[in-house]
């Protein structure tokens, strides 16, 4: 029996309702039980490359929760006694309707594309960690004190709330969804790492953005534009912050080439010296 068949539940876990004013966006969590939505709980305490923790199958219609050992959102929420953390990577295929990391576990989107039907989400809760490196999700949300990094791929909307931190160093944000793609609220922080930032059309210094709404442009550390459009819209409220951070400098090609040349010469000199020694005539004493 697969880990999915063994762990599948046909009720949705009880969750808090989360809606945001000013967004044309359906709430992603509902209080109560909903039949007909299959929940998969992965809480084996393992990590990739363990086969059960590298998901490369079609999971349309599933809601996947990655949790610590001893935790199961369909039985107990929050988990009273979390054991070892679990890490899962989603590499290919149509991803689940939603992917959640709870407690101190980790989720990685590395190629899967979540379906556009419904409200697909990639979500971190509590002290969990998430990475989006390839593939696509409609919503990338960080709650509580979790951390989420967008390094590639894409997300329609990103949001940090409840003291969470969401860092964007690459990828594509908010293309063609008609909603505000950057939302920070409730002490949540969105960090944009890159260069050449503008806020509402004007060059912007690094640091917290003072405006509460508007547009942000610039180039992320990966070289991607913040959005496929010239700018991405943003909204922040309830002490939420959007912080612009300078991308770390990339070493100059000339310096790298010079270092490689010196290393090559040094190695060649050593080899040549050894060859000369090996062919030198032996003197009788």
Same-domain pairing of 143 and 166? yes
Those residues whose C-beta lies under 8 Å from the C-beta of residue 184, and which sit 6 or more positions away, are 159, 160, 161, 190, 234, 235, 236, 237, 240, 241, 242
- Helix (H) or strand (E) holding 130, with range, is strand 129-142
The pLDDT assigned to 275 comes to 37
User: pLDDT category, 60, cuts 50, 70, 90?
Assistant: low
Question: Are the beta carbons of 189 and 241 closer than 8 angstroms?
Answer: yes
Same-domain pairing of 88 and 136? yes
Q: How far apart are CA 274 and CA 158, in angstroms?
A: 59
Average pLDDT of the chain is 77
Same-domain pairing of 236 and 261? no
Same-domain pairing of 202 and 280? no
Same-domain pairing of 66 and 107? yes
Classify strands 35-42 and 9-11 as parallel, antiparallel or unpaired.
antiparallel
Same-domain pairing of 192 and 262? no
Same-domain pairing of 237 and 267? no
Domain of residue 273: give its range: 252-285
pLDDT at 10 over 80: no
Same-domain pairing of 247 and 265? no
Which residue blocks in the chain are alpha helix, DSSP H?
Answer: 3-7, 253-279
Q: What is the pLDDT of residues 21-52, one digit of tens each?
A: 333 333 334 333 333 458 889 999 999 999 99
Same-domain pairing of 25 and 78? yes
Lowest mean pLDDT among 17-31, 81-95, 215-229, 266-280: 17-31
pTM of model > 0.85: no
The pLDDT assigned to 112 comes to 73
Same-domain pairing of 219 and 280? no
The total domain count for the chain is: 2
Q: What is the mean pLDDT of residues 89-96?
A: 78
Q: What is the pLDDT of residues 220-231, one digit of tens each?
A: 999 988 876 678
Residue scoring higher pLDDT (151 or 172): 151
Closest to 108 measured CA to CA, from 64, 144, 62, 78:
64
Same-domain pairing of 83 and 208? yes
Calculate the CA dihedral of residues 14, 60, 131, 208 and round it to 10 degrees.
-70
pLDDT at 17 over 70: no
Same-domain pairing of 265 and 195? no
């Amino acid at each position: 029996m697969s880990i999915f068949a063994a762990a599948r539940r046909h009720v949705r876990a009880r969750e808090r309702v989360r809606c945001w004013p000013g967004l044309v966006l359906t709430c992603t969590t509902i209080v109560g039980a909903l039949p007909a939505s299959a929940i998969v709980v992965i809480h084996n305490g393992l990590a990739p490359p363990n086969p059960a923790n590298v998901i490369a199958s079609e999971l349309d219609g599933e809601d996947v929760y990655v949790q610590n050992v001893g935790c199961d959102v369909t039985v107990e929420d929050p988990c009273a006694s979390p054991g070892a953390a679990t890490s899962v990577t989603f590499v290919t295929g149509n991803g689940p309707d939603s992917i959640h990391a709870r407690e101190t576990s980790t989720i990685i989107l590395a190629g899967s594309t979540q379906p556009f039907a419904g409200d697909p989400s990639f979500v971190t809760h509590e002290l969990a960690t998430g990475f989006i490196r390839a593939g696509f999700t409609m919503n990338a949300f960080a709650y509580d004190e979790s951390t989420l990094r967008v390094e590639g791929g894409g997300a329609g909307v990103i949001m940090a709330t409840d003291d969470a931190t969401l860092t964007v160093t690459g990828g594509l944000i908010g293309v063609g969804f008609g909603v505000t793609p950057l939302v920070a609220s409730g002490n949540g922080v969105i960090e944009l790492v890159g260069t050449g930032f503008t806020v509402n059309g004007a060059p912007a210094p690094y640091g917290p953005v003072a405006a509460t709404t508007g547009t942000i442009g610039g180039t992320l550390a990966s070289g991607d534009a913040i959005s496929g459009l010239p700018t991405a819209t943003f909204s922040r409220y309830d002490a939420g912050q959007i912080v612009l951070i300078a991308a770390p400098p990339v070493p100059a090609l000339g310096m790298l080439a010079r270092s490689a040349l010196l290393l090559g010469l040094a190695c060649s000199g050593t080899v040549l010296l050894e060859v000369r020694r090996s062919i030198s005539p032996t003197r009788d004493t």
